[in-house]
Structures are given as C-alpha cells and as structure tokens.
Amino acid sequence: MKWSANEALRDLLEEKHRKYNHPDFIENDPISIPHRFSRPGDMEIAGFFAAILAWGQRKTIIAKCTELMQRMDDSPHEFILHAAGSDLRALEGFRHRTFNDFDLLYMVAFLKSHYEKHSSLEAAFLTQNDPAGNVRANLTGFREVFLTGADAKIRTAKHVSTPARRSACKRLNMYLRWMVRQDEKGVDFGIWKNIRPGQLVIPCDVHVENIARRLDLTARPKADWDMAEEITNRLKAFDENDPARFDFALFGMGIENYFSQ
C-alpha cells in the first residue's frame, strides 16, 4: 500500500515536537556538552566529540564527555590548536566503550590539522555537497577527509560512519542537526550556514527506528541509510524545509514509551 501523510499524524508529530524541542531537553542530553560553551570553535569541537561518543545511556555519555572536556582544560578549541607533548598525555587512558585513547589522539591530530587551515569544522563537511539533495555526499566526503591519516584505517575508521557502507550514520546526522538547525527554542545551534536544514537526514537511533515503524514512517527491516532516508522523506510531507526537527518528536516518544502508555 502506498504511504500517504495524514492530519492525525501531523498533529501528533507537531505536539511532540513542541514538547521536546525545548530548553528543558538540553540538560539530560549529550547536546548539553556543546551548550557549555559560547565560542563557535568550542561548540563544534565539543559537539563533535559528544556525537561521536553518543552510544549507550545518556547519563554515561554526558559523564564521559564531561571527563574529556576536563582533560582538554574545558577549552577544546584552544587545546586542539596548541596541545603537544605533556598536554596530549593528559588524554592517555581515556576510554568509552570501544573508543580509546588511540582513537582520541588520532581525532585530535585530525582536528588540529584541519583548524590550521580552516576556521570551522564545517569545511570538512563541504568537500562534497549536493544542495539539491540530502547530506549523503557531505558525510561521504567528510569520512574521506577524516581518513587521510593511514593510522585511522587500522581502527579509528569504525567510529566515523558513511552512507557508502549503508550505515544510517546516526551520530553524524545528529551532529549535523545540532550545527545546522536553528529556531527560537535554542536547542540546536545553527552556526553552520552552508548546509540547509532541508538537506538534513533524521538521526536514526533505536528510539526513532521503533517509533517510526509504529507510525508507518518506514517499512524497512533494519536501521540503515535507506531507512533514515525513507523516514526523512516521509517527514518532508509535514515540513519540506526542516524535516529533521521531528527528531525531537520521534526520539521523545521513544524515551517516554509512548506506545506503552
């Protein structure tokens, strides 16, 4: 049966979007890490690590990101630009699940090299860009830039996903949502201007996946890039210019166990 939008679903999504796209959402979510900073460089670096480390319980993610920011003297942009020798040794021993200090030191080296040439991390997501499409090309291009160091191909590559391998790219799509989207609620930052909100793809985690199935936003069997695109394309029926804002609704409904009430 061909899928079609309906007013009841629109009303539900709008209701839950209003509920969860709210400053109260920030405190208990990994987005709270970049919200600790006011400078764009700090926000995008803190956000990048918060997104990369965003698997597991949110409380644990926030604790590990807090630890990492402390190891960077709570000044991540300054640390990235100038850390060497004993400064970098402060990062040794850091671990979150399968992410370890080898991965961290590679990412710090990548970011240092990038910021020596560019004022913003956004540039690394613009080596490929399709303004008429979604962020598939941006994510593919970013991973290629990120893996310029041979050591990354040994193990760190697994922490940066790509649509080219059919991954849903949940963490990077979430990061792009944080950096690109902006509205009056102030949860997302909107500090990047070269990717449009309409290009964003929904961050497809287990909560979004489960709720999307219950709402008939996807019929696909597993969370991969095709599922993320399908959900996003169906959400565009309700907001073509900013479909990723409904991430708040789907994720929030998952957290509140909406269908168990």
State how far the Cα of 146 lies from the Cα of 111, in Å rounded to an integer: 9
Q: What is the pTM of this model?
A: 0.95
Cα angle: 30, vertex 36, 41; to 5 degrees: 95
Residue from 202, 98, 205, 203 nearest 157 by CA: 98
Residue 138: count of CB within 10 angstroms of its CB: 27
Q: Which residue has the tokens 């019929």?
A: 219
Half-sphere exposure in the Cβ direction for 43 (13 Å, CA): 19
Phi, psi of 241, rounded to the nearest 5 degrees: -90, -10
Q: Mean pLDDT in the chain?
A: 94
- The answer to whether residue 155 scores a pLDDT higher than 90 is no
- pLDDT of the residue at 5: 73
Query: Would you place residue 205 in the very low, low, confident or very high pLDDT band (cuts 50, 70, 90)?
Result: very high
In sequence order, the β-bridge partners of residue 226 are: none
Query: In this structure, what is the dihedral angle of CA atoms 196, 61, 32, 184, given to the nearest 10 degrees?
Result: 40
